[in-house]
Amino acid sequence: KNQVEQSPQSLIILEGKNCTLQCNYTVSPFSNLRWYKQDTGRGPVSLTIMTFSENTKSNGRYTATLDADTKQSSLHITASQLSDSASYICVVSLYGNKLVFGAGTILRVKS
Amino acid sequence: DAGITQSPRHKVTETGTPVTLRCHQTENHRYMYWYRQDPGHGLRLIHYSYGVKDTDKGEVSDGYSVSRSKTEDFLLTLESATSSQTSVYFCAISDGPQSTEAFFGQGTRLTVV
């Protein structure tokens, strides 16, 4: 069964600290892997999209990495801000027009 | 939110009643999607549309129907609402298949009592 597993389920960090969110997937083959940010009460917003041949992709303080051999991706957030508090969702896009969503990691940044 | 409007934003309805949720886009994107989001689960695809009057089922389509009579509008109907359909519903749009970038609406919180 195709699955996208994210860890941790939730995370609390202090403002200014860095953190890394993990995504392990079993789906294969895939066309791209995405990370979305979802603020409370809002729809998901795309942060990064990586094809299977890309190893890293940055968007400001967000850096996503992809290891297609181990089927792992991570999202690193640098110098966290209160506005980073949100749910972060890993999504794998399969060939054949299907998206498989992870359940998300809830990040809370405290002052 | 990429020109996507969902209505209503919140709704409480009784078991057994029909409910229609509306998604309206101003981006002229060909593809439109309806997802539901439940705690502990990733977003799950209900139905999608790849053009006017062209729709197909997703992984959790039972109990739902859709219609798309215009490019800009995609309607999701719960034919006879059940408590298991209490959820947050998201509409998304893209200008290509799901492999391309998708943009999401703000969601509709539906409670079936």
The 10s digit of each residue's pLDDT in A38-94 is: 999 999 999 999 988 899 999 999 999 999 889 999 999 999 999 999 999 999 987
Instruction: Return the SS3 of A83.
Output: helix
CB A4: neighbour CB atoms within 10 A? 23
pLDDT tens track for B61-111: 999 999 999 999 999 999 999 999 999 999 999 887 665 788 999 999 999
Q: What is the distance between the alpha carbons of residues B11 and A43, in angstroms, rounded to a whole number?
A: 17
Residues of B with Cβ-Cβ distance to A4 under 8 angstroms: 42
Binding-face residues of B in 91-110 toward A, CB within 8 A: 92, 97-99, 101-107
Question: Of A95, A99, A103, which has the smallest distance from its Cβ to B41's Cβ?
Answer: A103
Considering chain B, what percentage of its residues have pLDDT values greater than 90? 86
Is 60 exceeded by the pLDDT of residue A15? Answer: yes
Q: Locate the chain A residue with the closest alpha carbon to B109.
A: A41
The residue ranges of DSSP E strands in chain A, in sequence order, are 4-7, 10-14, 19-25, 30-38, 45-51, 56-59, 62-67, 72-77, 86-94, 98-101, 105-110
Here the tokens at position A8 are 């941790």
Give the list of residues 6+ apart from residue A59 with CB closer than 8 angstroms, or none. A47, A48
Give the list of residues 6+ apart from residue B98 with CB closer than 8 angstroms, or none. A93, A97, A98, A99, B31, B33, B48
**Which residue type, as a one-letter code, is found at position A61?**
R
Q: Are B20 and B76 in contact (CB under 8 A)?
A: yes
Q: What is the distance between the alpha carbons of residues B107 and B113, in angstroms, rounded to a whole number?
A: 19
Answer whether B104 sits within 8 Å of A41, measured CB to CB: no
| B30: contact with A, CB 8 A cutoff | no
